[in-house]
Chains A and B, each alone.
Chain A
Amino acid sequence: MIGSLLVLLSAGLVAGYFSYRSQQASDLSQRATRALAKEDFTAARVYSEKSLEIRPGDTNVLLVYAEAVFKDGNLDSEKRVQLALDALSRIPDDSDEGLRARMHEASIHFFDQLKPVKAERALRRALAISTDHTESLNSLMQIFCCTSRETLIEPLFESLVQNSQNRRQTREVLANWFLSQFSLGTYNSKTDPLLRVDGLYQVNIPLSQKRLLAFRDAEPGQQLPQVALAYWFYIRSDGKQAKLLLDELTPEQIDLSDPLYLITAVNTYFEVGEIELAATLHQYWKDETYFEYWRQKGVIEQDYENDPRQAVDSFQRALTIWPGPIDPSIYFRLETCLKTIGDQESASKYRKLGEEMRNTTSSERIRELQQILLEGELNQENCEKFVSFYETLGRQNEMQYWRSLPSLPE
């Protein structure tokens, strides 16, 4: 009897102790949350640390701790990043905080560490948790645009616009989409200051190049930042520099499933006259859903295989995939191929289309629309300007989005 009482008492004491500790952990957790809200990061860190001593697997507290420790100016920067990432890594994807943890990881990797590969990996995990997570999709779009992949974001845009809840969100998505495709510098100018790369490297290097240099230096040996930098040079017609950067990749680092690598490598090797290698590399494209696949195929058929007929088919396919329609060079190449095979009438048609496309996407026209996005009111009249713009490009979806924008709920 006494034994039973002692057992019960002990159990009660243990239960009481754990109840007390649990309460203590909750109190500490609440204090940490309050301190975080007041931006007292040191206090938030200390409270959450103590709370985690009691409940090490508390994902909510781990999240608070990660944020607190990351922002705590009393810790040296290397340490706070390491501690924050360690804490976040302890939050499983399937926990309630999994999504936020992955977002937080992505943010640290990208904005603090300048590591787009790791950031993207975290965001992809976030999207595996919640496919339509707008913030993750937006962040991914941001990273793509900062790593020379603005031509690949159409699927992200479509997901974002489908998930927009109201006029404000839709407007933002449509504006970002427009800027990313027609004024990338403007789009990235929202991100670049947050990356704080302006003071790095030589003064006279453009900010966009500094950003890519910083990415490359932060993740040495990774294909993405190396190729993104090579693409930056390729797009500025400096094929020699692009080739040097591609040449630095070891065979082990090369991932042929990466469209950016194939886009950059095929185009660069072609530009510098290594046309056989460009043609060989093109055979490694497995995904025909990219406009660059068809554009490059057409170029190789036109310039390497001397098969203008086949090139016409490929270029016409390229025009059906975004951003093919806004690449005037495709129309002019079509013109040349069609002339070669004796179809002067169609050749003239494509030349006219190319000239029209060049006018439609001229810097003056883009500036005018950009001005509306940055300063103008998005009333019916202004939205119609975008409808008309996209109509010229043959983009039904965008036309519809812009047309319905004024009638969306606030």
Chain B
Amino acid sequence: MSLTACKNQNGTGGNAGPVSNSPDSTAGTSGSKGTGTGNSGKADPGLISRLNKVRDRESRPQGLVEPLFEDRAPEWGVDFSLYRDAVKDRFFFPEVMGAGIAWLDYDLDGFWDLYLANGDALVAASQPQNRQHQNQLFRNLLETGFDAVTDFAAPDGRGFSQGLATGDANRDGFVDLFVSNHGQNYLLLNLGDGSFSSQPVGDLANEPLWSTSCVQVDLDQDDDLDIVVASYVDWTVGNHHPCNYKGTAGYCGPGTYAATRDLVYENQGDGTYVEVGQSAGFDFKSKGLVVCAADFDHDRNPEIYLGSDLTRNAFYRQREKGLKYENIADDSGVAASKNGLAEATMGLAVRDFDQNGEIDLFLTHYYQNKNTLYLNQQGLLFKDASYETRIKNLSFDFIGFGTVAIDYDHDTDFDLFISNGHVLGEQIPPFRLTPQLINNSECRFFDLSSQSGIYFQRKFAGRSVASCDFDNDGDVDLCVGHLDAPYALLENRTRSGNKSIQLQLLDQDRQDLVGTEVIVHLGAEKVVLPVVRGQSYLSAMDPRLHLGVGELDAVGVTVHWAAGGKTEFENLATDRTWLLSPEGNPVQMPGPRQARAPAR
């Protein structure tokens, strides 16, 4: 276990001593410029040793725990392939963007259920809707796996669905689902009897057509959940055209279509919503694909980060009480890379990667570019640390979509899973790419995909991913969406020998827990776990906070509640899931159990 931060990676000494230039260098390139002081220009032993070390260095440090994730979707009864209305040689843009995944405990049995967004006919009249094109709900029965309950529980999940956001929209104690569409957005209200009813949200006539990632968050601290929705581009069937890539037709990218404004639906508290994006300060036009809500500055209120595909990212901070926000992305250094480039942001993972107590941002980007890691330097000021952390080095050959930060090996630092896949079309390789499992070793990242299991040897047109300990065995599992293959349910079977703890938070006085900050005390060291909503890509995670704790049998936890006040929890046994509330009586939740798939 190591808690060494990467905020100052100053070297391990060893200045080998400069060597001067050679005035007669055969490879000299200096034109008429100075040619140095006459030394040999040859590398001295100190430098040679360093060069050799780097040359011979294995691709990763010794001693990293090898991950093992196995696709157990069939065993667990999750049989789902995305319907995306792909028609050969048509290249409708939404066909290639995937759809969301949400983990939610809709029946409050302590086992997390799975909701999968699905596509539909993009030209409404071309195909009748049928159940093949519905969004799908899988109830987690644990003992017997997942049960497909869509017809009974949630038959109204229709349309060309994109993003999913969980939250108790009507404060009845049951989690509801917001579904964004290429088309009319709607809310699936959990009726508490095991079923959902659908309610349209927003006025499609006056809003952008293509909504993507979304998040339910209390923006104005009125104790109900508002909804922030990223909007992509102004693509419609009417303005559609394919693009030509050196003579081969394929899907156009975001550069071809105009940016649109993002949406904020204010919860009126009476079951209705009013779109207030402009007046709330969300007036920056973006090509938004991903959104998250988290408290980045410890003021107990949410900031909203909105990742955009080839336009500058937005970062909204509450300017004054109520729905008054301002975009501070430029001032915070998270609008563009440190070279000033607006990158093609698809996915987002939000965690304290360098363990300095501040929440960082990891963004997935386009092929033969770089993914970006913005490290939070405090005070809402970030630094693009993609190079020194090796993030850039691991991303050149990939185009990332969904991504999640998970501590797969329970060593207390957050590793990364990335779902990769290209966007131009099957006929323009590489369309399929391998997913990545990246280990965080003291804020230097190493790709362990080749050792992570068979799933990582296969290529997919990967899109969404959402994390959840769906088997309640104390480690984090994944559901991954593909365009070209059934969805995968990746069970974490890593054998690290380390322990973990999971924390579920409940505050009767505050509906929204964004702003609540959990500090886990690991002996003399501590790890900050923020409450984050949204992130990844179009998806909603298991909201339980999970952390590896090494070999510790018990840990202390301090919770700073968003509503104010803090609660100390001492000696919480590890390898358990605890329900924590401001009252201070921790309640042990179902599980953990030994990982195993149910017999089917």
Q: Do A and B bind each other?
A: yes
A257 is contacted by which of B11, B28, B385 (Cβ under 8 Å)?
Answer: B28
Docked pose: A336 CA to B336 CA in angstroms:
11
Q: Are B43 and A256 in contact (CB under 8 A)?
A: yes
Q: Which residues of A contact B368 (CB under 8 A)?
A: 236-238
Which of B34-42, B96-104, B290-298 has 4 or more CB atoms under 8 Å from chain A? B34-42
**B594 contacts partner chain A, Cβ-Cβ < 8 Å:** no
Docked pose: A260 CA to B42 CA in angstroms:
15
Which of A16-24, A35-43, A102-110, A267-275 has 4 or more CB atoms under 8 Å from chain B? A267-275
Q: Are B369 and A223 in contact (CB under 8 A)?
A: no
**B444 contacts partner chain A, Cβ-Cβ < 8 Å:** yes
Q: Which residues of B contact A224 (CB under 8 A)?
A: 26-27, 29
Q: Which residues of A contact B148 (CB under 8 A)?
A: none
Q: Which residues of A contact B19 (CB under 8 A)?
A: 256-257, 284, 286
Which of B47-55, B181-189, B403-411, B538-546 has 4 or more CB atoms under 8 Å from chain A? B47-55
- Return the CB mask of A240-252 against B: 1 if under 8 Å, else 0: 1000000100011
Question: Given that A277-B50, A336-B383 are known contacts, is A260 also in contact with B37, CB under 8 Å in the complex?
Answer: no
- A-B pairs under 8 A by CB, number: 191
Question: Given that A159-B32, A238-B396, A332-B339 are known contacts, is A273 also in contact with B47, CB under 8 Å in the complex?
Answer: no
Q: Are B338 and A333 in contact (CB under 8 A)?
A: yes
**B191 contacts partner chain A, Cβ-Cβ < 8 Å:** no
Docked pose: A344 CA to B21 CA in angstroms:
40
Question: Given that A240-B396, A303-B387, A332-B338 are known contacts, is A254 also in contact with B29, CB under 8 Å in the complex?
Answer: no
Q: Are B390 and A273 in contact (CB under 8 A)?
A: yes
Q: Which residues of B contact A258 (CB under 8 A)?
A: 25, 27-29, 41
Q: Are A340 and B340 in contact (CB under 8 A)?
A: no
Docked pose: A87 CA to B50 CA in angstroms:
45
Q: Are B392 and A239 in contact (CB under 8 A)?
A: yes
Interface size classification for chain B: 35 or more
**A323 contacts partner chain B, Cβ-Cβ < 8 Å:** no
**B271 contacts partner chain A, Cβ-Cβ < 8 Å:** no
**B389 contacts partner chain A, Cβ-Cβ < 8 Å:** yes
In the assembled complex, the CB of B285 is this many whole angstroms from the nearest CB of chain A, namely 17
Which of B2-10, B418-426, B430-438, B496-504 has 4 or more CB atoms under 8 Å from chain A? B2-10
**B427 contacts partner chain A, Cβ-Cβ < 8 Å:** no
Docked pose: A162 CA to B32 CA in angstroms:
14
Q: Are A260 and B340 in contact (CB under 8 A)?
A: no
Closest to A270 in B: B387
**B381 contacts partner chain A, Cβ-Cβ < 8 Å:** yes
Closest to B369 in A: A237
Q: Are B377 and A340 in contact (CB under 8 A)?
A: yes
Which of A4-12, A149-157, A176-184, A402-410 has 4 or more CB atoms under 8 Å from chain B? A149-157
A156 is contacted by which of B25, B31, B51, B391 (Cβ under 8 Å)?
Answer: B31
**B600 contacts partner chain A, Cβ-Cβ < 8 Å:** no
**A351 contacts partner chain B, Cβ-Cβ < 8 Å:** yes
**A329 contacts partner chain B, Cβ-Cβ < 8 Å:** yes
Q: Are B385 and A303 in contact (CB under 8 A)?
A: yes
Interface residues of A in 123-177 (CB under 8 A from B): 140, 144, 149, 152-156, 158-159
Q: Are A152 and B333 in contact (CB under 8 A)?
A: no
Docked pose: A81 CA to B16 CA in angstroms:
44
CB pairs A–B below 8 angstroms (13 shown):
A120-B26, A140-B31, A153-B31, A156-B32, A236-B368, A258-B28, A271-B387, A273-B388, A273-B391, A279-B11, A287-B30, A332-B340, A336-B338
B interface vs A, CB < 8 Å?
7-12, 14-23, 25-37, 39, 41-43, 47-48, 50-52, 54-55, 330-331, 333, 336-340, 368-370, 377, 381, 383-385, 387-393, 396, 444-445
Q: A158-B32, A254-B43 are in contact. List 7 more A-B contacts (CB 8 A).
A: A152-B33, A257-B21, A273-B392, A275-B387, A304-B388, A306-B7, A332-B339
